[in-house]
Structure 1
Amino acid sequence: MTPAHTLNLLGVLSESKRIINTHSRHFLALSVIFLLPLSCAIVIYPTLYHPAGAAAPDFVSTGINDTFKFNFPQTLIYILITYLISICALATITYSTFNGFYGRPVNFFPAIKSIIFSFLPLITTALAAKFFICLISLSFVMFIIVILKLVQNLGFVVDYNSSYFIYFCVILAVALGLIMLYFQVIWGLASVIAVTESKWGFEPLWRSAYLVNGMRSVSLSLILVFGGLIGIWVWMATNSVLGFSIVDDWRSWEFVLQTIMSSGFLGFLTLLLLHFTAANTVLYMYCKALHGELAIEIAEEFGREYVSLPFDDAKLPHIVTVISVS
């Protein structure tokens, strides 16, 4: 019998690892097709216009506008392609993890087909989240402007170069960052809901805020752990690529070492992205268990599919228990 996990971070990580290991070849194929190119795009693009050892662009002689116009088409194409790949990766891995949790067959072509049904819900949900984020940021900026105008109307002189003003800006930046982190926590399940429940727009945001209630500490821990690891690893991988660009002789041991290091960095970054996406899907299932929704669905799943369930214990639906501690 598969052991039951409590609803905590270790349980989420353990269950996502179990699903990935059970269908390792399937997730490996998805990672190679989607996550590995995404990792390469994240790491390599910052080095294209500013390779190691190259002089900084002379904005005085060339002009900032000319430089911006030169880079804008490539940047726009890069953003569109990267976002498209990330949408495909998110849809396929979420769909596969969701079915793996229930013990359903996890196949390659149905996972690819899920992109068609998940693409518009993911896009509209992302646009809805961006709308709220922009609205909050704009409100924050307007609040700062009102405070500065009020101080000036009271007869005080605002010295924008003073250390007090810098401290004030730092405090406001930290406050804005915490607000953004809060919404990231409560909206963390929105993409999973868009894929698994085919909801779109603002509805996945409200649904995510409802489900994550009671599991916010787990959601926050998941974001901090994987966000920190991915951020550090991207920085290390970017430095590795920058070092790789200054090696001229491909037959030297420096070239071989940089190649091995760059490949290792990209591979581990791909693994982090895979486990983060899978863990977020498992967190969604655990949140449903906390709200009493998962037991009913699993009972319906057994009643509908019990004849065709696999005999391998690792592929059976995972039972989640909710223990209330008074």
Structure 2
Amino acid sequence: MDREQEDMQFLGFFGIFKESYKIIISCKKIFSQLTLTLILPLAFIFLAFQEISSLMCNDIIDTEIEKDFARPDSKRYTNLSNTLSSERIKYVLFMYAYFIMVCILSLLLTAAIVYTIATIYIGQEVTFKKVMSVVPKVWLRLMTTFVYMLLAVMVYLILYLWVLIISLKVLRSNTFVAFLNVFLVIYVMGFVYMTVIWQLASVISVLESVDGIKAMTKSIGLIKGNRLVAVLISFMFDILFVFIQFSFYSYVVDGGLLEAWKRFGFGVLCFLMLLTLFLFGLVIQTILYLVCKSYHHENIDKGDLSNHLESYLGDYVPLIGKEAQLEEYRV
């Protein structure tokens, strides 16, 4: 990265994308290795989940239909009931396994990309072996932040449902429909904002000596002044992710009427788009962190940051005081 930190604050929406692209192109080797090792399995799991989940759901539905036509006191009914229970248990276990694998790979990938960008930023040589030796040590810090953010999202969802239930009882039907549309927009905006907070908090958990609630609180403070840009970037990536998932389901999972080669082509295209989305998304959220730090005139001392990153290579001890804090400067 040849751009000085004080100049980072002037990067806008398109500037952040341009800077991210330049970093990826200039360090193609390390990012290609990370893509093949972490991003590729993650993208495969995301898309394979839709295919496998669809097959399992279809099996459950077929079994339920057969059960409805069987006599309740017959042996066939009993066998179908046992089969249905088994299929549902398998589906629940599959969902849990999917969630765990996605969480582990996502956090490992976040740690790898953020560490790589930070190492490039301080001008040190970054190798795949070095990054992968650091990733497991950073993972626990990211997990702490993720758990707190997951709890915050759950509380947010519960409050949303509570307001909907209350409004359903109080408002008339036509008024409720109008309220629901407005409230849904507010909910989506709030969810996107929480996503931005979590993404920035994840970067903070890697590059600074805070995690969990402290990282989330610091993330909220850093976003101020760049809130619109951060939300637009996050919203754009969310829309692209939904578009890729929807396209894959429509043309591959549920595309039985299409020729095999067309379904395969759509599958490959969606897979490549998802790879690109994951890579750019994580690089951009790290660049956004640097932009926010520069905007608030908080100098990232490269020496202290270097010590912080190097500490991951030994027995990890959270840095305190000046070693981990990013000093403020005035322009």
Report the equivalent of 1:76: 96
- CA deviations over 1:151-195 (Å, ceiling 9, x no partner): 4xxxxxx77xx4443333333333322222232334430111111
- CA deviations over 1:6-25 (Å, ceiling 9, x no partner): 22112211111111111101
For residues 197 and 206 of structure 1, the distance between their equivalents in structure 2, rounded to whole angstroms, comes to 13
Report the equivalent of 2:116: 96
Report the equivalent of 1:259: 264
Equivalent residues in 2 for 1:1-326, closer than 5 Å: 2=2, 6-51=10-55, 56-59=61-64, 61=67, 67-147=87-167, 151=170, 162-242=173-253, 254-294=259-299, 297-298=301-302
For residues 2 and 104 of structure 2, the distance between their equivalents in structure 1, rounded to whole angstroms, comes to 37
Amino acid in the other structure paired with 1:17: Y
Unaligned runs of 5+ in 2: 68-79, 307-330
Report the equivalent of 2:310: none
Residue 39 of structure 1 contacts residue 270 of structure 1 at CA under 8 Å; is this kept in 2? yes
Residue 240 of structure 1 contacts residue 261 of structure 1 at CA under 8 Å; is this kept in 2? yes
For residues 81 and 258 of structure 1, the distance between their equivalents in structure 2, rounded to whole angstroms, comes to 26
Higher alpha-carbon deviation: 102-111 or 181-190: 181-190
Higher alpha-carbon deviation: 61-70 or 261-270: 61-70
Higher alpha-carbon deviation: 208-217 or 220-229: 220-229
TM-score, normalising length: structure 1 = 0.77
Cα 1:121–1:70 change in 2 (3 A) is: same
Cα 1:171–1:99 change in 2 (3 A) is: same
Cα 1:246–1:113 change in 2 (3 A) is: farther
Report how far residue 297 of structure 1 moved.
1.5
Q: Comparing both structures, which one devotes a greater share of its residues to helix?
A: 2
Cα 1:300–1:45 change in 2 (3 A) is: closer
For residues 213 and 224 of structure 1, the distance between their equivalents in structure 2, rounded to whole angstroms, comes to 17
For residues 140 and 7 of structure 1, the distance between their equivalents in structure 2, rounded to whole angstroms, comes to 35
Cα 1:187–1:83 change in 2 (3 A) is: closer
Higher alpha-carbon deviation: 212-221 or 163-172: 163-172
For residues 97 and 245 of structure 1, the distance between their equivalents in structure 2, rounded to whole angstroms, comes to 43
Report how far residue 208 of structure 1 moved.
0.6
Report how far residue 274 of structure 1 moved.
0.1
- CA deviations over 1:32-71 (Å, ceiling 9, x no partner): 111111111111211214259x685353526776643231
Cα 1:79–1:233 change in 2 (3 A) is: same
Amino acid in the other structure paired with 2:98: Y
Report the equivalent of 1:312: none
Residue 187 of structure 1 contacts residue 209 of structure 1 at CA under 8 Å; is this kept in 2? no
Report how far residue 197 of structure 1 moved.
1.4
Report how far residue 198 of structure 1 moved.
4.0
Cα 1:74–1:216 change in 2 (3 A) is: same
Cα 1:39–1:146 change in 2 (3 A) is: same
- CA deviations over 1:190-232 (Å, ceiling 9, x no partner): 1111111142211110111111111111101211222222221
Residue 26 of structure 1 contacts residue 108 of structure 1 at CA under 8 Å; is this kept in 2? yes
Cα 1:261–1:184 change in 2 (3 A) is: closer
Unaligned runs of 5+ in 1: 152-157, 248-253, 303-323
Cα 1:298–1:122 change in 2 (3 A) is: closer
